[in-house]
């Protein structure tokens, strides 16, 4: 287990049960090629996914006191998605320590986003089992929560993010056009299209403002992210 000491120092947590760390870094392909290996990181990944969701929800509730349930849900999904998680894993160099089968390693498995995402979720599960809530929250705050800054603007203010992107790239100001209005007064439905350069994206909502925001969010996901 000595070879994992630099990683423990990097993440700021020293495992009491070293086997948990070993399991978290064991890709299923390694176990397949080495049948004597007792376990891989799949069960820890399952646990870590739930722990990650809890920590993200708690952090977002405390940080965004005025955010709606829908906005909190989108932010939580953004944090726990593959891209941001893989970025957090890369920043702590998790890929260097993954144990993989020869085929997976030769195919670039150490830098594959899905492997990095699974590994950091497994690591979160392992820290939870080894050190409890306090330890895993410290890891989350230090290494995962900071990716929130990369996704907040596009979720909470997609129109502003889209306009900034358009101006930086010489696309001009995005134009919003009402496409459809329907439904009774107490349950109206609006469909808006936002146009930027040669691209067009539609969004729906119970108000024009909500429809514009949803259209801008689609454009941001497609063009900016």
The per-residue DSSP string of 65-101 comes to: TT--HHHHHHHHHHHTSHHHHHHHHHHTTGGGG-B--
Look up tokens 């514009």; give the residue: 212
Domains 2-155 and 157-224 agree in fold:
no
Inform me whether the pLDDT recorded for 45 exceeds 60.
yes
Q: What percent of the chain has pLDDT over 90?
A: 61
Inform me whether the pLDDT recorded for 2 exceeds 60.
no
| CB-count exposure of residue 108 (10 Å: 0-12, 13-18, 19+) | exposed
- How confident is the model over 202-213, as a mean pLDDT? 90
Homologous superfamily in CATH for domain 2-155: Ribonuclease III domain (1.10.1520.10)
Collapsing DSSP to helix, strand or coil, 189 comes out as strand
Catalytic residues: 49, 121
Residues 175-196: tens digit of each pLDDT = 999 999 998 888 889 999 999 9
Residues 95-146: tens digit of each pLDDT = 999 999 999 999 999 999 999 999 999 999 999 999 999 999 999 999 988 7
> Taking all residues of the chain, what is their mean pLDDT, rounded to a whole number?
89
Asked whether 39 and 27 are in contact (CB, 8 A), the reply is no
pTM score of the predicted model: 0.72
Confidence band for 34, pLDDT divided at 50, 70 and 90: very high
Q: What is the Cα–Cα distance from 16 to 39, expressed in whole angstroms?
A: 18
Q: Give the CA angle between residues 158, 55, 225 to the nearest 5°.
A: 25
Locate the domains of the chain by residue range: 2-155, 157-224
| Beta carbons within 8 Å of 200's beta carbon, 6+ residues apart | 193, 194
- How confident is the model over 84-100, as a mean pLDDT? 92
CATH number assigned to the domain covering 157-224: 3.30.160.20
DSSP assignment letter at 225: -
Inform me whether the pLDDT recorded for 172 exceeds 80.
yes
Inform me whether the pLDDT recorded for 161 exceeds 70.
yes
Inform me whether the pLDDT recorded for 151 exceeds 70.
no
């Amino acid at each position: 287990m000595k070879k994992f000491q630099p990683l423990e120092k990097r993440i700021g947590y020293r495992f009491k049960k070293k086997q948990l760390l070993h399991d978290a870094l064991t890709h299923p392909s390694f176990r397949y090629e080495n049948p004597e290996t007792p376990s891989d990181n799949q069960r820890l990944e399952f646990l870590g996914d739930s722990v990650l969701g809890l920590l993200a929800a708690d952090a977002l509730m405390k940080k965004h006191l005025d955010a709606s349930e829908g906005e909190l849900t989108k932010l939580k999904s953004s944090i726990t998605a593959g891209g941001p998680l893989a970025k957090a894993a890369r920043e702590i160099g998790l890929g260097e320590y993954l144990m993989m089968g020869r085929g997976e390693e030769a195919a670039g498995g150490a830098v594959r986003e899905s492997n990095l995402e699974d590994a950091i979720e497994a690591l979160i599960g392992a820290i939870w089992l080894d050190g409890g809530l306090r330890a895993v929250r410290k890891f989350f705050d230090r290494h995962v929560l900071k990716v929130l800054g990369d996704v907040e603007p596009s979720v909470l203010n997609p129109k502003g993010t889209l306009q900034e992107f358009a101006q930086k790239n010489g696309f001009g100001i995005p134009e919003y056009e009402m496409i459809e209005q329907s439904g009774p007064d107490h349950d109206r439905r609006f469909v808006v299209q936002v146009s930027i350069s040669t691209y067009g994206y539609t969004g729906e909502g119970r108000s024009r403002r909500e429809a514009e925001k949803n259209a801008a969010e689609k454009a941001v996901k497609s063009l900016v992210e």
